Amino acid sequence: MTIYCTHLYRRWLLLLTLLLFTATLLRAQKVVQLDDRFNQHILSYNEIETFEDTSNMFHIQDVAATSFAHRFQTNNGFIPKNYHYKSTYWFRVRIANELQTRKSWIVEFYDQTIDNIHFYSPDKNGGYTVDVYGASYPFKERLFNHKNFTVKLDTGNKDAKVYYFSVRSQQPANIMVVLKPVSWFIQYGLKEYLLFGVFYGMIFVFCVYNFMMFLAVRQVQYIYYILYNISIGVFEMSSNGIAFQYLWPNAPAWNEIAFGIALYAATVFAMLFTRAFLQLKVRAPFLDKILVWLLVIRSVFFVFCLFNHQYFIYKFLDAVPLLIAFYAGCYVLHRGYYPARFFVAGYSFLLLGLIIRVLKTLASINLPFGPANFYSLNICFVMEMLFVSFAIGDRVRLMKKTTDLAQKRMIREMQVNQELKDNLNRELEKQVTDRTREVTEQADVIQQQNEDLLQANELLKQQAQEIARMNVMLAQDNQVLQVNIKKVNNARVLSAELDFPEFEKIYPDDLVCLQFLAELKNEKQFACRKCDNHTWNPGHLPHSRRCTKCAYEESATTGTIFQNAHIPLNKAFYMVYMVYATKGKISSHKLSDMLSIRQSTCWTYTSKVKKLMEDRKKELRNAGEKGWSKLVIE
pLDDT value at position 218?
80
Q: What is the pLDDT of residues 253-299, one digit of tens each?
A: 888 888 888 888 988 888 888 888 888 888 888 888 998 998 899 89
pLDDT value at 494 more than 50: no
pLDDT in the model for residue 469: 72
pLDDT band for 426, please (50, 70, 90 cuts).
confident
Question: Is residue 368 predicted with pLDDT exceeding 60?
Answer: no
How sure is the predictor about 479, in pLDDT bands with cuts at 50, 70 and 90?
low
What's the whole-number mean pLDDT along residues 357-383? Answer: 62
Mean pLDDT value across residues 458-482: 70
Cβ partners under 8 Å of residue 336, min gap 6: none
| Distance of alpha carbon 595 from the chain centroid | 24
Q: In what order do the strands lie in the sheet with 149-152?
A: 41-42, 177-181, 105-109, 149-152
Q: Across the strands, what pairs with 91?
A: 50, 165
89 pLDDT band (50/70/90 cuts)? very high
**pLDDT value at residue 2:** 41
Q: Is the pLDDT of residue 197 over 60?
A: yes
Q: What is the mean pLDDT of residues 503-524?
A: 82
Half-sphere exposure of 350 (CA within 13 A, CB side): 27
Asked if the model's pLDDT at residue 16 lies above 60, the reply is no
What number is the average pLDDT over the span 430-455? 75
Nearest-CA neighbor of 93 among 128, 47, 130, 133?
Answer: 47
Residue 12 vs residue 183, higher pLDDT: 183
Asked whether residue 343 carries a pLDDT value surpassing 70, the answer given is: yes
pLDDT of residue 488: 46
| 96 and 30 Cβ atoms separated by less than 8 Å | no
Give the tens place of pLDDT for each residue, 70-81: 889 888 777 888
Rounded to an integer, the average pLDDT of 433-457 is: 73
Which pLDDT score, from 0 to 100, does residue 91 have? Answer: 92
Model confidence at 371: pLDDT above 70? no
Which range scores top for mean pLDDT: 307-321, 372-386, 455-469, 505-519?
A: 505-519
379 vs 123, more confident: 123
Whether residue 21 is predicted with pLDDT greater than 50 in this model: the reply is no
pLDDT at 252 over 60: yes
Position 362 pLDDT exceeds 60: no
- In this predicted structure, what is the pLDDT of residue 93? 92
Mean pLDDT across the stretch 215-224? 82
Examine the pLDDT at 198 and tell me if it is beyond 70.
yes
Q: What pLDDT does 9 receive? A: 45
**High-pLDDT (> 90) share of the chain, %:** 3
Confidence check: pLDDT of 14 > 60: no
Distance CA 65, CA 69 (A): 7
Q: Report the chain's mean pLDDT, rounded to a whole number.
A: 79
Give the separation between CA 209 and CA 216, rounded to whole angstroms. 11
Residue 33: beta bridge partners?
96
Per the model's pLDDT, the better-predicted residue between 620 and 541 turns out to be: 541
Q: Rg for the chain (alpha carbons), in Å?
A: 43
Residue 3 has pLDDT above 50, yes or no: no
Please report the pLDDT score of residue 36 as a whole number.
82
How sure is the predictor about 167, in pLDDT bands with cuts at 50, 70 and 90? very high
Share of the chain above pLDDT 70, in %: 84
pLDDT tens sequence across 547-595: 988 988 888 788 888 877 788 888 888 888 888 888 788 888 888 888 8
Helix (H) / strand (E) element for 95: namely: strand 88-96
- Reply yes or no on whether the pLDDT at 475 is more than 80: no
Can you give the pLDDT at residue 67?
87
Q: How far lies 608's CA from each of 7, 205, 222, 502, 599, in Å?
A: 111, 40, 28, 24, 14
Counting Cβ atoms within 10 Å, is residue 199 exposed (0-12), middle (13-18) or buried (19+)? buried
Quote the pLDDT of residue 24: 40
What's the pTM? 0.56
d(CA 480, CA 409): 31
Q: Per-residue pLDDT for 208 more than 70?
A: yes
For residue 624, what pLDDT is reported?
Answer: 59
Please report the pLDDT score of residue 119 as a whole number: 92
